[in-house]
Every structure is written in structure tokens, then in C-alpha cells.
Amino acid sequence: MPGAKKFMKKSKKNIAVLISGSGTNLQSIIDHIKSGKLKCNLTVVISNKKDAYGLVRAKKAGIPAHFIDHKGLKRKEHEKKIVQILEKHKIDLVVLAGYMRILTPYFVRKYKYKLINIHPALLPSFPGTDGYGDTWRYGSKVGGCTIHFVDEGVDTGPIIIQKTNPIKETDTLESFKKRGLKMEHQALPKAIKLFIEGKLKIVGRKVIVKEQ
């Protein structure tokens, strides 16, 4: 039957990206989709900061972008507003890319195993808001980034990918961070790709990555 193959083709997954700032990771996802390396629909971008440059990046790419202010709202009320948008867009995966708010169990349970975060340190070392700075100030010899499923703790969920970033004698915090961000920009789309291709299996704390 002509067209049957097309009809049978599994539809692409819808992903949402939550941001609070510059959105260089968001940009990397956009670029990976544009170049065909990542096959999914980046359906919506949501920021809790009005002036987040990531909102501009989303608009430039023609992606619906929303600013959902958290000021004056209880955490759960704010999250409910976000969930409304996510449900409207039938989101299969929520990506936290520099989203600087801790999510409540309400949100985490709703998107259990469909919610990933990128953290700029080698977890479980240096959780929190300043992974690069904390790694640097501790005097570590190696930093890196971690992409993990989000659970109800802070930066504690099962780990999907970690990339190491050795610290050189000649580094400054800035040069260490710059190299680290470049790594993030490759690692996050890779984790998304594994998720959308159904290659991740969670067994307890471990994420098993199926053979390519």
C-alpha cells in the first residue's frame, strides 16, 4: 500500500526544555535537531526568568517560548502552571538545562523517568548551584558534567552520562568552565538521543545504556 511505511513510522518524541538563563545548552539542542543529529520535536521552552537569553534563542528558532514567573507563587502553584503547558504539548521528555529551581515531589513524580538534568560537576561531588566554582575552589584535579534522571533529591537521580574535564595547571576558573560547557553541549544531546531512541533502562540506581 503506497504511503503505508510513512503511516507506520513511529512519530517523533516531543521534548520540552526548562531554562533560567543564557541557554547555551538549549542552543546546542536546537542545533543538533536542525542538523538532523537529534530526531525529536523541541516543542516548547519555558523559563522562570523573564530576561533569560534562552527565550530569545527559542523565539529565533521558532519554538514557542513561555516565561512563567515564580515570584509570589508557592513552588507547586508555579509548577502547576508549567505542567499545564507541558500537557498541552504532550511532552515525552522534560530537559532541565540550566533551570535554577528545585522541583517539588509533585513535579518530579509527574515526570518520573521522563525528566533529566544537566549538572556541571561529577556527581555526587559538588551538587547545588555552582558546580564549576565548587569543583575549582576545592582544588580538584578533574571536573566534568553529569546528565541524570531527576528524583526527589537535589542532583541525586540515576546517572545517564558523565564526561570528565581534567583541570590543567594553566587553567583559570573561566578556561575550565569554558571547556566544560563545550562538553556539556555534546553530552546533553547525546543523553536526549539515547532517551528518545529507547536505549536507557533504569535498574535501581543504575542506568543501563543499551548497545548502539
From 70, 78, 89, 119, the catalytic residue: 119
Is residue 209 within 8 Å of 58, Cβ to Cβ? no
Q: How far is the CB of 110 from ligand GRF (least distance, A)?
A: 21
143 binds ligand GRF (CB under 6 A): no
Nearer to ligand GRF (CB atom), residue 128 or residue 198 = 128
48 binds ligand GRF (CB under 6 A): no
Interacting positions 88-107 with ligand GRF (CB under 6 A): 97-98
CA distance 106 to 76: 7
Residue from 119, 122, 126, 148 touching ligand GRF (CB under 6 A): that is 119
22 binds ligand GRF (CB under 6 A): yes
Q: Indicate if 119 belongs to the active site.
A: yes
Residue from 184, 194, 195, 207 touching ligand GRF (CB under 6 A): that is 184
Residue from 32, 49, 116, 120 touching ligand GRF (CB under 6 A): that is 120
CA distance 16 to 41: 9
86 binds ligand GRF (CB under 6 A): no
Of 20-28, 55-63, 105-113, 163-171, the segment contacting ligand GRF by CB under 6 A is 20-28
Interacting positions 53-72 with ligand GRF (CB under 6 A): 54
Q: How far is the CB of 192 from ligand GRF (least distance, A)?
A: 14
Size of the site for ligand GRF (CB under 6 A): 15
CA distance 176 to 8: 47
Residue 15 dihedral angles phi and psi, to the nearest 5°? -120, 150
118 binds ligand GRF (CB under 6 A): yes
Residues found near ligand GRF in the complex (CB under 6 A): 19, 21-26, 54, 97-98, 118-120, 181, 184
